[in-house]
Amino acid sequence: MHHLHATTFAIATASLALAGPLDLTPHCDRFAPRVENITWGLCPGPDTPAQCGRFEVPLDYQNATAGKASLAVGRYPATKQPKLGTLFFNPGGPGGSGISFILGATAPFVSNVTGGQYDLVSWDPRGVNWTYPRAECFATGTEQKIFWNGSMSFAGIEARGNFIDQADLDSFYAQATKTDELLVKFG
């Protein structure tokens, strides 16, 4: 299943890249000012070609006195020239981290699939990961682990749950062969 999803993702990403850039500017910056410059620097963590930066946005566009949020953005630079543009990735969610996408193994894979000629950019949405202010539901990491402990329902290929730790992910991926067999069987 993991390979099937990777292949599907690769085909979809390549199709998007080959479709060419879309100019959405007239529709997108109608309500928010355009961010002209982000100062890119080293990302925290292990050695990576990825770059990280920040920019500020209003906490409330209707109330300028509400303060600002500092959005964390990440960029995996194009690896080949000429650079053809930038692909933006919504991290999904709720609670999805775009910086984790940029720093993880997915960004090099997507870069390779798209020919290496695009910068890959994503961000941590408001309240998530390295964007401030953060939304915190738990006072400590221990409190969070206690809350999620045992929340994974192991029900074969119907497994659902909150994939907080590696053990949950490993159990889920162990079902890949069974799922692949069903996908082949039912087309």
Q: What is the pLDDT of residue 50?
A: 93
Longest Cα separation, the chain: 59
Looking at every residue in the chain, the average pLDDT score rounds to: 77
Q: What is the pLDDT of residue 128?
A: 85
Whether 91 and 101 have beta carbons less than 8 Å apart is answered as yes
Q: What is the pLDDT of residue 27?
A: 46
Q: What is the pLDDT of residue 10?
A: 46
Q: What is the pLDDT of residue 30?
A: 52
Give pLDDT < 70 ranges for the chain.
1-36, 150-165, 187
Domain segments of the chain as ranges? 39-135, 138-187
Q: What is the pLDDT of residue 35?
A: 62
Q: What is the pLDDT of residue 159?
A: 54
Whether 68 and 59 have beta carbons less than 8 Å apart is answered as yes
